[in-house]
Structure 1
Amino acid sequence: MTQALSPAPAAYRRRLFHARDAPPDNCAEVWWIQGDRYFCDARFTTDASVRPEFHMGFAGELQPTGVAADEFEWVHAITAGASFGSADIGQLFEVPGWGLLEVGRGFDYVELWQRCSDEAEPLWEARGVDENGTEALVVCVGDRFGLALGPDAAGSRPASVHIGSRHIGLRLDGWRDAPSRDAAARDAAVPRGQTWHAEHSSWAFHDPLHFSIDPTPDGGFALSWRAGDLSGAPMHFHPILQGARS
């Protein structure tokens, strides 16, 4: 293994976790989407029927700590579910041809992350805020994506995290392969931008959850979602201006 000066942009799935002093981690499904700058992480336990239940998720910016060349802090800007409980700091080591080994500061934990795809392009990531002050962060790497939404100002929607993959050939109005439908009506219902299937989500819907994410010229993005007959009004996020990362 060699030191990872920065983790390669990719989708990662956790395959092993061991903590020296902390209680056992009961999360059976843990996914991490890493871009050049931003990340998104979602963690799930399983219930008695072995169905995944959302436990916690977070998203933010990966920053070097400056303590060691291979030590990083995952700075949580948006958090959902259970509290993480501590600073998210660790060293990364490359496992050639497979993924990453993460070691907590002081060797208090180890995690083994399998890189799920070598396709790091196209890569697109953004962090934004809407007119009501709600933050959002999106990371798209190849055919995988991570999305985090902060709580809305009215308090009716808590923070959420969603991870999944690009969905080809899906229209968010629910019409698929239906040439008998009126073409103009179908086209009017199709959102601009890419459509993504949230395979791992803090939202519990019976029907599959899909997002349309469309970059805007100002560096922000527009977003809409649908799950069966349920859908949300389009949301528009303006970029959060930040200094260049060293």
Structure 2
Amino acid sequence: MTVAERVRVTGTRFERTLLARPDAEPDTTTRVTWLQGERLYCDLRRPASLPTITAPTLTDMGIDDLVALATQDGFAGRLLDRGDHVEWERVVSFHPLGPTPDAGSLAVLDADTLVEHGVFEDYTEHWSIVDVSPDVEEHLLEDPDTGTTAVLVRVGDTFAFARGRDRTIGSEPLIEQIHGVATLSEARALVDCEISVGHVRDSRWIITASTLPYRVGDALDPTIGDEIRIRDTAFDGTPATRRWCSVDPTQRSTT
């Protein structure tokens, strides 16, 4: 029996209530949203200690702002059913990929909670089921000009959008990379990875939380057709519309 046959997660918005690791204090304060479509997911993680950053653009951020933002996490891609566990394949990742897949076994704890146990790491997470909807929309996207990957998922009136960087980053911890580059401009580019969540109200897709705090309150407002156009913001805060090509998620490599 596969995970999908035991535990149904499609069309669900989860909020994490617990992360427990051996020899560490349980984490019950990090704000984590996992939005799961049919195949695609987005995950945004913001520590409670994250300071308020008021810089209106990346161009206005100093090194302290960038280091603070690097304490966040987020990723998006396909959820892969491996039979006895699932893997969260990351086609967008705020931090460099680790040495092992992000994999966990899922089980029902009670009517409103899933429990996840790590496969390659020793941890336990509790996930509260906040909302479930059969109304699911999802797109795996690629920028035809840069090759950048993105994921867009909507479940009911909640959406999540993840956009990768336009540059490849190294394998070292993100904070080390920020401190190690030669210019502030390069450091800013390392943080230019957007994972946002929000709500659809009266046909407006309004961002309510993001790895890029100046995006909060912006309208994503995707236009979906032969290509998908999404409202974006340039480094200097200039409004922009970015066009994306849709990619078949069933054809993407699992490596």
Same fold (TM over 0.5): yes
* RMSD (CA atoms): 3.3
Question: Which of 65, 87, 110 is the matching residue for 2:124?
Answer: 110
User: Given residue 73 of structure 1, which amino acid in structure 2 is its aligned partner?
Assistant: E
Q: How does 1:204-215 map to 2 (within 5 A)?
A: 204-205=213-214, 208-215=217-224
**CA distance in 1 between partners of 2:13 and 2:6 (Å):** 16
Query: Is the helix fraction higher in 1 or 2?
Result: 2
Counterpart of 1:62 in structure 2 is: 79
Question: Which of 67, 89, 92 is the matching residue for 1:75?
Answer: 89
Is 1:196 the counterpart of 2:230? The answer is: no
Deviations 1:79-113 (A, max 9, x none): 11476664211111124431311111278211111
Is 1:222 the counterpart of 2:239? The answer is: no
Deviations 1:161-180 (A, max 9, x none): 00121133xxxxxxxxxxxx
CA gap 1:140/1:20 in 2 versus in 1, 3 angstroms:
same
Q: CA deviation at 1:123?
A: 0.7
Is 1:160 the counterpart of 2:194? The answer is: yes
Counterpart of 1:172 in structure 2 is: none
Is 1:237 the counterpart of 2:237? The answer is: no
Q: CA deviation at 1:21?
A: 5.8
Question: Which of 14, 17, 28 is the matching residue for 1:12?
Answer: 14
Q: CA deviation at 1:62?
A: 0.3
Deviations 1:164-211 (A, max 9, x none): 21133xxxxxxxxxxxxxxxxxxxxxxxxx422221201122862321
Deviations 1:49-75 (A, max 9, x none): 689966111000000123x2xx10001
Is 1:139 the counterpart of 2:153? The answer is: yes
- For normalisation by structure 1, the TM-score amounts to 0.73
CA gap 1:87/1:134 in 2 versus in 1, 3 angstroms:
same
CA gap 1:237/1:27 in 2 versus in 1, 3 angstroms:
farther
CA gap 1:23/1:78 in 2 versus in 1, 3 angstroms:
farther
- For normalisation by structure 2, the TM-score amounts to 0.70
Task: Extract unaligned runs of 5+ from structure 1.
Answer: 169-193
**CA distance in 2 between partners of 1:109 and 1:97 (Å):** 22
Q: Is the 8 A contact 2:18 2:28 kept in 1?
A: no
Greater gyration radius: 1
Q: CA deviation at 1:124?
A: 0.2
Q: CA deviation at 1:77?
A: 0.7
Query: Is the strand fraction higher in 1 or 2?
Result: 1
**CA distance in 1 between partners of 2:198 and 2:105 (Å):** 26
CA gap 1:23/1:80 in 2 versus in 1, 3 angstroms:
farther
Percent identity over the alignment?
25
Task: Extract unaligned runs of 5+ from structure 2.
Answer: 54-67, 169-185
**CA distance in 1 between partners of 2:149 and 2:217 (Å):** 24
Q: CA deviation at 1:26?
A: 8.2
SS of the equivalent of 2:222 reads strand
Q: Give aligned pairs, total.
A: 211
SS of the equivalent of 1:205 reads helix
Q: CA deviation at 1:19?
A: 1.3
Q: CA deviation at 1:23?
A: 8.1
Q: Is the 8 A contact 1:210 1:226 kept in 2?
A: no
CA gap 1:58/1:235 in 2 versus in 1, 3 angstroms:
same
Counterpart of 1:171 in structure 2 is: none
Q: CA deviation at 1:39?
A: 0.4
